[in-house]
Amino acid sequence: MTASISASGDLPAVTVRRQTLSGTVAIIIGIALLVGLVAMPWWAGQGTIRSVVELCCYIAIAQMWNLLAGYGGLVSVGQQAFSGVAAYMMFALAQNLGLNPFLAVPLCLIAPAILAVPTYALLHRLDGPYFAIGTWVVAEVVRLLTTNFSYVNAGAGMSLRVMTQYSAHERAIGVTLLCALMLLVTVGGTYWLLRSRYGLALTAMRDNPVSAASQGVNVPRLRFLIFVAAAVGTGLAGAIYFMAQLRITPEAAYGPQWATVAIFIVMIGGIGSIEGVLIGALIYFFADRWFGEFGATYLVVLGVLTLLVALFARGGLWGLVNKVVDAPWFPTRRILVSGGGE
Amino acid sequence: MSAPLLSTHGLQAFYGDFQALFGIDFEVAAGEVVALIGANGAGKSTLLNAIMGAIRVAPDMVRLDGAPTGGAAPHVMVAKGVGIVPEGRRLFTGMSVEDNLRVAIDHSAGGNDAWTLERVYALFPILKDKRRDLVQSLSGGQQQMVAVARALLNQPRVLLCDEISLGLAPKVINEIYAAIPSISDAGTAIVLVEQDVGLAKKASDRLYCMLEGKVTLTGKSADVSREDISAAYFGAGHAVA
């Protein structure tokens, strides 16, 4: 995509180019993968579908955490509050109120959006680790409230029995379609946001929030919008994940493992980049499958790996790749091209 | 002097329990260049930060066009026409020169398009050649030019410059300071925080000297003697250099 910038006076005419060859290739591959995902019920087994849905949810949750921490500078360890509350809302709408479960997924997003507003109002004055701990406290409070809320079967959890009215094939079609939509909203939405007029402001805020504010960027408003958007995106992932699981409990929905998975994926892949999230999610997904049987040892290795990346490669694996080859999959940089065909 | 464009009235500022500014009265008129001098820790940068809204102060303590603006957030101050070149430049290091400038264009104060990309490139021609480069690949002086150009593209009526000569070679400092008259001639008021007293005196119409959070001297730059400045800079008890 290119856009001309009007230039007057003695400034040479320039064209802003944003798309790159690598970006075009990535979009084609991305579309092919999305089509393959939607077509999975016709070519893949139930186990494979379940694994891919899980991977998609990891990508979505990590992408939302990346938006929050990588661009907004808001390091949260309590995003499970939003995935959990959305999933519970979906279960309540479908199981208790009899709504179509696939329709309940978009409708349940009102819950994380509503929860995000007072949460941000409460926590936005906190900085760094205090904000992080605050988000964890909120997630724990929501978990405790759910554990004592009989309408959602309290601590015993709920099963999505209404799904039995659909065949396994129909369920797979619904869930894979929702997954494709989720990736479009979270990954595609982030990409669109970064390429929109807010993109520069977001990148400026990522680079230096104090300076961004002193150049006129409304940092508090942008952070609020990002917080709500990340809550909704995380909620969508939570709702789809637990729909595929067909069962939810407070421990599973609000467990801190959601935050640790998101942090691992983003740190390993590369904070502040969409590509990093995809790489990190794939690494976590396969590491979990191949080495999960080693239990605590495996978790220690993951922890050490995160520590090493944090100490020696802050840009993550994508940052290391970037040092070798400049071929972004999701190009957001404006490349100025001289009109004279330079 | 004509009616002040920006003024402070008995401005007090705190970092927690520590009081950094004690009743500062300060003003700058449209198109005027005012220097703020003083030793490290005198409160010069704190004064700029308090004006800019980075430090919370009472509304009546800062006035723009006579209207109280104290405590307004930095992005609000930018929208009202106050721009800042922050200490240490604080550029967006992941961006090109032109993207840095576009952030300011996207968030400029409305109703005034006096500063355009063409105009800031005319002011600092090297930036036109470097506009595609990442700012972190530029020299310190070129980065400072980006910081000044970026602040100008906010279309400020008052430009606050915090130590723009810090860490730069004399030749580069001269290049940057050569732009000051062009900026003030366009009607933009300039507040220069500067450690180099000679440079500040030469570039400004008036100056304020600060010591330990208070204004110890004010006057027309051409009229203030070196002895007056020394006494105000170091305190009355110190010998004149």
Domain edges within chain A:
31-259
Return d(Cα A46, Cα A33) in angstroms, integer. 18
Q: Do B73 and A220 touch (CB under 8 A)?
A: yes
| pLDDT bucket at A5, cuts 50 / 70 / 90 | very low
Neighbours of B145 (CB within 10 A): 26
φ/ψ of A236, rounded to 5, equals: -60, -45
Mean pLDDT of A262-275: 92
**A7 vs A195, A196, A335, B118, B131, CA distance in Å?**
22, 21, 16, 8, 14
DSSP tag of A151: G
**Which three-class secondary structure state does DSSP give residue B194?**
strand
Q: Locate the DSSP E strands across chain A.
A: 2-5, 14-17, 158-159, 247-248, 335-338
Residue B205: strand, helix, or coil:
coil
Do A201 and B131 make contact, defined as CB atoms within 8 angstroms?
no
pLDDT digits (tens, 9 = 90+) for A7-23: 444 555 566 667 788 88
The pLDDT score that the predictor gives to residue B98 is 92
Mean pLDDT, range A33-57, rounded to an integer: 95
**Gap from B205 CA to chain A (nearest CA, Å):** 26
Query: pLDDT averaged over chain B?
Result: 91
**Segment holding A219, helix H or strand E:** helix A219-245
Cβ neighbours of A287 (radius 10 Å): 16
Mean pLDDT of A195-214: 87
Give the model's pLDDT for residue B1.
57
DSSP-assigned letter for residue B39? -
Q: Which tokens is A212 given?
A: 């961004």
Confidence of residue B239 (pLDDT cuts 50, 70, 90): very low
Quick check: A216 and B95 CB within 8 A? no
pLDDT for residue A9 = 45
B78 touches chain A (CB under 8 A): yes
Cβ contact (<8 Å) for B118 and A204? no
Calculate mean pLDDT across residues B58-78.
95
Looking at residue A19, what is its pLDDT?
A: 76
Q: What is the DSSP string of A255-274?
A: -THHHHHHHHHHHHH-TT-H
Report CB contact under 8 Å: B94, A213.
no
Mean pLDDT of A272-277: 92
Please state the domain extents for chain B.
6-234
Stretch B136-165: mean pLDDT, rounded?
94
List the single residue in B52, B102, B128 with the smallest CB-CB distance to A11: B128
Q: What is the DSSP string of A41-79?
A: HHHS-HHHHHHHHHHHHHHHHHHHHIIIIIIT----S-T
- The count of C-alpha atoms lying within 13 angstroms of the C-alpha of B57, restricted to the half-sphere facing its C-beta, is 31
B85, pLDDT greater than 90: yes
Kindly list the residues from chain A whose CB atom is less than 8 angstroms away from the CB atom of residue B107: 201, 215-218
- Quick: pLDDT tens for A237-262: 999 999 999 999 999 999 998 999 99
Lowest mean pLDDT among A203-207, A249-253, A331-335, B72-76: A331-335
Q: Among candidates A51, A71, A60, which has minimal Cα distance to A204?
A: A71
Neighbours of A337 (CB within 10 A): 15
Closest chain B CA to residue A272:
B94
The number of C-beta contacts closer than 8 angstroms across A and B is 94
pLDDT at A11: 52
Query: Does pLDDT of B144 surpass 90?
Result: yes
Does residue B122 sit at the A interface (CB-CB below 8 Å)?
yes
Rounded CA gap, B43 and B38, in Å? Answer: 8
Residue B34 has pLDDT above 80, yes or no: yes
CA distance to partner chain A, nearest, from residue B29 (Å): 21
- How many CB atoms neighbour CB A10 within 10 A? 10
Q: What is the pLDDT of residue A12?
A: 53
Q: What is the pLDDT of residue A53?
A: 96
- Average pLDDT rounded to a whole number, residues A53-69: 95
For residue B113, the model assigns a pLDDT of 76
User: Lowest-pLDDT range, A76-90, A211-225, A298-312?
Assistant: A298-312
- A239 in Cβ contact with A92 (< 8 Å): no
Residues in chain A closer than 8 A to B150 (CB atoms): 215
**Per-residue confidence band for B89, with pLDDT thresholds at 50, 70 and 90:** confident
Record: contact A207-B95, CB cut-off 8 A: yes
Is the confidence at residue A158, as pLDDT, over 60? yes
What's the rounded Cα separation, in Å, for the pair A145 and A13? 61
Name the pLDDT band for A338 (thresholds 50, 70, 90). Answer: low
What confidence score (pLDDT) does residue A327 get? Answer: 85
Q: What is the predicted pLDDT for the residue at A109?
A: 97
State which residue of chain B sits closest to A221, comparing Cα positions. B75
Is a pLDDT exceeding 70 seen at residue A81? yes
Position A206 scores a pLDDT of 84
- Report the distance separating Cα A223 and Cα A127, nearest Å: 13
Of B54, B96, B107, the CB nearest to A216: B107
Q: Tell me the one-letter amino acid at B120.
A: V
For residue B122, which residues of chain A lie inside 8 Å, CB to CB? 9-10
Class of domain B6-234: alpha beta
Could B104 and A210 be called an inter-chain contact, meaning their C-beta atoms sit closer than 8 Å?
no
B121 CB within 8 Å of a chain A CB:
yes
Closest CA to A108 of A226, A9, A6, A243: A243
pLDDT of B238 above 80: no
Q: Which residues contact B195 (CB under 8 A, 6 or more apart)?
A: B37, B40, B163, B165, B166
pLDDT value at A4 more than 70: no
Q: Do A213 and B150 count as a contact with CB atoms less than 8 A apart?
A: no
Place of tokens 């409990």: A249
Question: In which residue are the tokens 């070679």 written?
Answer: B169
Does the distance separating the beta carbons of B95 and A203 come in below 8 Å? yes
Residue B149, CA distances (Å) to B89, B99, B112 in order: 11, 12, 16
Interface-testing mutation among A14, A215, A217, with chain B (most B C-beta atoms within 10 A): A215
pLDDT at A135 over 80: yes
Token pair recorded at residue A183 = 């990736």
Two structure tokens written together for B147: 């910081």
The mean pLDDT of B144-172, rounded to a whole number, is 93
Residues of A in contact with B54 (CB under 8 A): 210, 213-214
Listed in sequence order, the residues at least 6 apart from A203 whose beta carbon sits closer than 8 Å to its beta carbon are A71, A194, A332, B92, B94, B95, B99
Minimal C-alpha gap between A8 and chain B (Å): 7
pLDDT of residue B236: 65
Number of H helices, E strands in chain B: 10, 10
A57: nearest Cα among A271, A274, A288, A262: A262
Closest Cα of chain B to A207: distance in Å?
5
Contacts of B45 (CB under 8 A, 6+ apart): B87, B162, B163, B193
C-alpha–C-alpha distance, residues A303 and A187, integer Å: 26
Predicted pLDDT at B3: 79
Q: Yes or no: say if A60 and A183 are a contact pair by the CB < 8 Å rule.
A: yes
Question: Cβ–Cβ of A334/B96 closer than 8 Å?
Answer: yes
Residue A274 CA, chain-centre distance (Å), reads 10
Mutation site for B-interface testing, chosen from A206, A214, A337 by largest number of B Cβ within 10 Å = A214
- The span from the CA of B172 to the CA of A342, in Å, is 30
Lowest mean pLDDT among A48-57, A327-336, B24-33: A327-336
Determine whether the interchain pair B75/A335 forms a contact, defined as Cβ–Cβ distance below 8 Å.
no
Q: Closest Cα of chain B to A307: distance in Å?
A: 24
Q: Do residue B75 and residue A213 have CB atoms under 8 angstroms apart? A: yes
Question: In chain A, what residues touch B86 (CB-CB under 8 Å)?
Answer: 210-211, 214
Cβ of residue B105 closer than 8 Å to a chain A Cβ: no
A166 token code pair: 């659909």
Residue among B78, B79, B94 whose CB faces A203 most closely: B94
Is A214 in Cβ contact with B54 (below 8 Å)? yes
- Tell me the per-residue pLDDT of A277-323, one tens digit each, with 9 for 90 and over: 999 999 999 998 888 888 888 888 888 888 899 899 888 999 999 88
CB A154 within 8 A of CB A93: no
* Nearest Cβ partner for A213 among B74, B98, B132: B74
**Band of pLDDT at residue B240, cut at 50, 70 and 90:** very low
Of A7, A217, A335, the CB nearest to B107: A217
Distance CA A229, CA B42 (A): 43
Whole-angstrom distance, CA of residue A293 vs CA of residue A298: 8
Q: At which residue do the structure tokens 């891919």 appear?
A: A52
Q: Which range, of A132-141, A198-207, B156-165, averages the lowest pLDDT?
A: A198-207
Whether residue A228 contacts residue A120, with contact meaning beta carbons closer than 8 Å, is answered with: yes
Which residue(s) pair with B159 in the sheet? B83, B190
